[in-house]
Amino acid sequence: MSLIVRDLSKKYGEKTVVDHISFQMNGPGVYALLGTNGAGKTTTIRMMLDMLEKDSGEVLWNDKPLSFTTCNIGYLAEERGLYPKYPIIDQLRYFAKLRGVSDEVTEQRIRYWAERLNVEEYIFPGKAATAEGTANAEGAAPASNQAFGFHTGGSAVRVISTPRTAKTPVKKEKPRTPDQLSKGNQQKIQFMIAMISDPELLILDEPFSGLDPVNSDILRSVIHEQIDAGKTIIMSSHQMPAVEEFCTDITILHRSRAVVSGNLNEIKKSYGRINLSLKTEEDISAYARQAGVTILNEKEHEYDIRVTGQDQALDLLKLLVDNRICVVRFDLREPSLHEIFVKEVGADNEDQV
């Protein structure tokens, strides 16, 4: 597969909201669109999905214009919503029908994802809980997925939730509606809607916002499964650790323009190894000044130091060794995505990250 986003632009009146954005994916993986609020991430996604008219540019999927007819797309919108008063199960079936999924497969997928995301009790209220839920509670995919042919991969993430241990018959209840669900559970239902067609291209706009740590971990494990299954994912997020965990390529948008774009490792390499984490047994402030490095943080002889590069770090190490300073830890690393982001979009936007 290949996804090419070329020269996308959008103006509202005189205001440019997306300014000639381009990026490309040549194979499965996760691409991140990063940026502060109002940087143009959601507008870019909406143009990619043809929800908004483009002022210029094109989006190609396997050399054809990207659309729901040329590609099986799953989309989790930033502004999430469900019909508040309609039964959840009806809404899932509705979206499946709109995406052309057969009734039989729809039922299988709903059951799979309900179990996988721990929302069975809301979708099938009153149905007996099964022992399979126990496996799910530990973060693994439900056993039923084998039967339905879903791709699941191993995940390092373990999810802690209330285990189910036995079949407990429960009285049949009225179908649940979204207004009876918490925001996080509504979000999981919306994620189910995005996944109902088993998409090859998954577009997740701020997938982790509003989720508690437990549910974030569930979603993480699901995304890992999708990556392992060879899916193409485009993700917009403010959560840098999550992006670093999944993404191979990124574009950082700032004031409607791409300020950084490319492979995450390459980008990091281009910034060089400038973060030095150092632990010694005595104060080294004088040696740091002598070596010309900047101490960012210090706590009981543990230092976070900014260096200009590997040479400067090694000069400092040599100086310490020559002066018989005991170095307990010397860790020289590339900048984190968070640091790159802050550097590129400016410290004034840091609070929005």
Which residues contribute to the site for another protein (CB under 8 A)? 11-13, 46, 49, 51-53, 68, 73, 75, 77-87, 90, 94-95, 97-99, 190, 193-194
81 close to 187: Cβ distance less than 8 angstroms: no
**Paired residues of 201 in beta bridges:** 73, 232
Determine the residue type at 142. Answer: P
Of 138 and 179, the one with the shorter C-beta distance to another protein is: 179
Of 16 and 22, the one with the shorter C-beta distance to another protein is: 16
* Residue indicated by tokens 């439900």: 142
Of 20 and 80, the one with the shorter C-beta distance to another protein is: 80
* Residue indicated by tokens 């104060």: 283
Of 141 and 193, the one with the shorter C-beta distance to another protein is: 193
The CB-of-206 to another protein minimum distance in angstroms stands at 12
Q: Is the dihedral of CA 188, 193, 199, 202 positive or negative?
A: negative
Six-digit token string for 275? 């973060």
Helix, strand, or coil here: 343?
helix
The CB-of-76 to another protein minimum distance in angstroms stands at 8
The CB-of-307 to another protein minimum distance in angstroms stands at 45
* Residue indicated by tokens 């039989």: 104
The CB-of-201 to another protein minimum distance in angstroms stands at 12
230 close to 28: Cβ distance less than 8 angstroms: yes
Of 83 and 148, the one with the shorter C-beta distance to another protein is: 83
The CB-of-97 to another protein minimum distance in angstroms stands at 5
Of 17 and 313, the one with the shorter C-beta distance to another protein is: 17
Give the contacts of 156 (CB within 8 A, at least 6 positions apart).
224
The CB-of-40 to another protein minimum distance in angstroms stands at 14
Of 54 and 306, the one with the shorter C-beta distance to another protein is: 54
What is the C-alpha to C-alpha distance for residues 204 and 181, in angstroms, rounded to an integer?
Answer: 21
Instruction: Work out whether strand 275-280 and strand 15-25 pair parallel, antiparallel, or are unpaired.
Output: unpaired
The CB-of-101 to another protein minimum distance in angstroms stands at 11
Of 12 and 148, the one with the shorter C-beta distance to another protein is: 12
212, 213, 219, 224 alpha-carbon torsion, rounded to 10°: 160
What is the C-alpha to C-alpha distance for residues 305 and 186, in angstroms, rounded to an integer?
Answer: 44
Determine the residue type at 236. Answer: S
304 close to 275: Cβ distance less than 8 angstroms: yes
The CB-of-82 to another protein minimum distance in angstroms stands at 7
The CB-of-187 to another protein minimum distance in angstroms stands at 12
CA atoms within 13 A on the CB side of 304: 5
Of 79 and 322, the one with the shorter C-beta distance to another protein is: 79
What is the C-alpha to C-alpha distance for residues 129 and 175, in angstroms, rounded to an integer?
Answer: 16
- Element of type H or E holding 185: helix 183-195
